[in-house]
Amino acid sequence: MADRIIAIINQKGGTGKTTLALNLAAGLVLRGSTHLVDADPQRSVSQWVGMGAGPAVLPLAVLGGDPVATLAKLARNHRYVVVDCPPAVQGPVIDAVMASANLVLIPVLPSPLDLWASVDMGALVSRARQKNPALQARLVLNQMETRNTLSRAMREAVAAFDMPVLDADMQRRAAYRSAAVEGTSVYGLGKRAQTAVADIEAIIEEVLCL
Ligand SMILES: Nc1ncnc2c1ncn2[C@@H]1O[C@H](COP(=O)(O)OP(=O)(O)O)[C@@H](O)[C@H]1O
Ligand SMILES: [Mg+2]
């Protein structure tokens, strides 16, 4: 277990990067010192945290200046660093994140188009491994509906993909949206978000065993 810097990436917007980053960090901070990093110029996670999801509990940094040095410093001082990335495959921020991360998580929606849009993510990870050979990568299925045939078919489709997928996934749940609206994580919603918390806990347990 050494996944100190966990970056949430996908070139596509709306796949759940910010949702996963914030809730993952909210679960990790219960286990050890955790720093959330906003690397997206849209600053969604900063706005979210600014509403109340931190910063007392969850310190947040914006990734500017020298991004490699900033990440290295945060990793020295925290057990976990979670980076919410912009929807991009290139640029100084993505380069720094890919050079520094121990693990990238790539949330994908259960649709073939979204899955194919993530093919470039495989190339990005392969390129990054030339300089960062220990970099691990996992797809995370998001907005899953267990009883939905498409979601079941997705599991089979990703199995044929060149990128391993986490067994744990994020189901489509109102709690993720409510947490965002209320400026908190699913952990902050109490009982009504129990199932969403269970999703995130399962993701964390799996990630910490990689
Ligand atoms: N598992 C989920 N269930 C329900 N809504 C979700 C889920 N994951 C994400 N969302 C919603 O989908 C939208 C896009 O998610 P977001 O995390 O902002 O994506 P990204 O950061 O990749 O652009 C947001 O409105 C978010 O609340
Ligand atoms: Mg986002």
pLDDT digits (tens, 9 = 90+) for 160-188: 777 899 999 999 999 999 998 888 999 99
- Determine the residue type at 203: I
List pLDDT tens digits, range 84-127. Answer: 999 998 899 999 999 999 999 999 998 877 777 777 888 899 99
Q: Which domain, by its residues, includes 144?
A: 5-208
Residue 11 or residue 2, greater confidence: 11
Confidence of residue 74 (pLDDT cuts 50, 70, 90): very high
> How confident is the model at residue 55, as a pLDDT?
45
Query: Into how many domains does the chain fold?
Result: 1
Tell whether the model's pLDDT for residue 53 goes beyond 70: no
Q: Which atom of ligand 1 is nearest to the CA of 10?
A: 22
Ligand 1 atom at minimal distance to the Cα of residue 19: 17
Nearest CA to ligand 1 atom 11: 177
* Residue 24 belongs to domain with CATH number: 3.40.50.300
Q: Report whether residue 23 contacts ligand 1, using a CB cutoff of 6 Å.
A: no
The answer, yes or no, to whether residue 25 has pLDDT greater than 90, is: yes
54: pLDDT confidence band, cut at 50, 70 and 90? low
pLDDT of residue 111: 82
SS3 state of residue 130: coil
Best CA proximity match to 18, nearest among 65, 71, 86, 64: 86
Nearest CA to ligand 1 atom 27: 177
Q: Are 107 and 113 in contact (CB under 8 A)?
A: no
Backbone angles phi, psi at 75, to 5 degrees: -65, -30
